[in-house]
Amino acid sequence: MDSNTSIKRLTTLKIIGRLLGFLKPYKFLVVLAILLLFFSTGLALATPALTKTAIDNFILGKNIALLPKVAMLLLVISLAESVLSSLLRILTEYISQNTVHQLRKTLYEHINNLSIGFFDWTKTGDLMSRITADSHAVGQLYGFGAVNILVNFLTLIGIFIVVTIWEPRLGLLYLALIPFVVIAMRAYAFKVRPLWRKNRQTNGEITSIMQETITSMRIIKLFGTEKEELLRFSTKNREVCDLLISSSKVSSYWQPYIGFLTSTASALVLLIGGSLVIKEQLTLGTLIAFTSYLGLLARPIRQSGFLIGMIQSSAVAGERIFEILDTTSNVKEKEGALDVPDVAGKLTFENVSFAYPKSAMIVKDISLEILPRERVALVGPTGAGKSTLISLIPRFYDPTSGRILLDGVDIKEYKLKSLRAKIGFVLQETFLFDGSIRDNIAYGKPDASLDEIREAAKAAEIDDFIMTLPQGYDSPIGERGVRLSGGQKQRIAIARVILVNPPILILDEPTANIDAGTEAKMEKALLNVTNSRTTIVIAHRLWAIQNAGRIAVLEKGQLTQVGTHTELLALGGFYKEAYLEQSLQAKEVAQ
């Protein structure tokens, strides 16, 4: 055995052991299931033994009087075994489904607690695949797999013990089969696991492609790339098909091999056992019982190939699940973190720099103080680091160096949930949930009354539109707000922020996707929402910039200018050039 094989085998055992650890809450039920399993297996093994007794003592002994009692006992044993097997199946299914439920919940909860940086590098479809398909594969281990592995193991051990007691020479024959089975099982297991790993990975990629395609259908239709997307899906789909065919090829050798092995064993039993019966060294009942045991033996041996494949599939699925569960958040809440008290809203950046892992610095040595209730605009060319900088405030990421203070206290001193409750975000690409307008506005405050929701909507200049709808605030908006315009979605997002009433507001290009007709309503809505709040706004529209008390210019991740609109025009540089260019464009449009 080479070192790589040892590592793979050890890894599989560790993964299975860790997966079985999720059964701990149901340990008493697991013990009960094992007891049922022992009794049902014992009853199954008792039938050939009774047959031996009937043949040797009653049939050959011509004791007809006791045969009906033996026959009745066989019926009782069969009935008891059936009842116990049914109870065992119900119990194991209950344990399996509840364990998978808990595993999915743990996985989903862990994903929710990971930092935003994790989602920057992870495909949504792959995560969905791990929560659904991989969890389902693990469930097979808890239910069908675990029961059949134990039943087969007990059957193999039980038959060996009984046969060896009856006739040691037949026991040795039985024992001689084991190495041939073990060798085949090892070869099968180590060939099939890489195929299952690749299959699971490719299935996750297919889910990602489907998720991306469905959510981007408007773009696909617009550019007429249906054929290209079909080709992309078909390529991965064919890859899965080929992998399953490869797995089937490996599996196809198992059944013929085991069939030949059991047939060889039967022939040897007939030859050796028959000779012993003729020599009167073995009873006919023992030979027939041993033949019956060979029949019982065939099922677990044949099934072992399927079970190995299922175990390897569960191990690979577990490996993918534990990859997520073992991922730690880059943003961690310190022990003893505090709730954020009532804040004035002063933000201080002290020599803040940030870089993504294995990337160059995006934000470089930023020092900036924003006073309570001050409006500050961030401007700069695309890729200057504006969105990255504001993402550090709610701790979506932590600075690589430097620190950010809220009212003079490092934000790392606070609980994440408490900190983020003080910060309202309105993003360029607004996300709305599939539900009603009321539900979306009240997302951050589910217990809000309709009057509170309407007040927030009025401040966001969207109440008039909502009241024109047949169902008003109960109107469904479709997935991602597909039934609303860009400006309407933005104003609903603003209402959502107003309702939770955060002391700090961050607006990331809130007017980028609206038309000129909506701009006036957006301007009024933003003035309403920024009133009496510390506000940071990233915007290219001149009115949004001019309403700011100060304007900070970022270029290539560095803070190059800070001042009022008038001061920056006098200084020259990026802001003045951008202002003059937009002014010229505005005049051309007006003409």
Long-range contacts, 34-41 (Cβ 8 Å, 24+): 34/150, 36/84, 36/87, 36/88, 36/91, 37/88, 37/147, 37/150, 37/151, 37/154, 38/154, 39/84, 40/81, 40/84, 40/85, 40/88, 40/151, 41/151, 41/154, 41/155, 41/158
Nearest alpha-carbon partner for 400 in 341, 453, 352, 337: 352
Q: Is the pTM higher than 0.95?
A: no
pLDDT in tens, 526-563: 776 777 789 898 876 655 676 778 999 999 989 999 99
How far apart CA 416 and CA 183 sit, in angstroms, is: 54
**379: enclosing H helix or E strand:** strand 375-379
How far apart CA 89 and CA 91 sit, in angstroms, is: 5
Question: Do residues 265 and 173 lie in contact, with contact meaning Cβ atoms separated by under 8 Å?
Answer: yes
How far apart CA 259 and CA 265 sit, in angstroms, is: 10
Residue 561 phi, psi (nearest 5): -145, 145
pLDDT in tens, 10-47: 477 788 888 888 888 998 998 998 899 889 888 888 88
Residues pairing with 561 in the sheet: 553
CA atoms within 13 A on the CB side of 396: 14
Residue with more model confidence, 258 or 18: 18
With a pLDDT cut of 70, the percent of the chain lying above it is 83
Write down the pLDDT at residue 6.
Answer: 36
How far apart CA 389 and CA 552 sit, in angstroms, is: 12
User: Tokens representing 408?
Assistant: 């003079």
Least confident of 172-186, 317-331, 365-379, 496-510: 172-186
Least confident of 54-58, 124-128, 224-228, 541-545: 541-545
Alpha carbon separation from 576 to 201, 368, 477 (Å, rounded): 51, 21, 41
Categorize the per-residue pLDDT at 185 as very low, low, confident or very high, splitting at 50, 70 and 90.
Answer: low
Mean residue pLDDT across the chain: 80
pLDDT mean over 297-313: 74
Q: Which 3 state secondary structure label does DSSP give 553?
A: strand
Given a cut of 60, whether residue 2 has pLDDT beyond it is: no
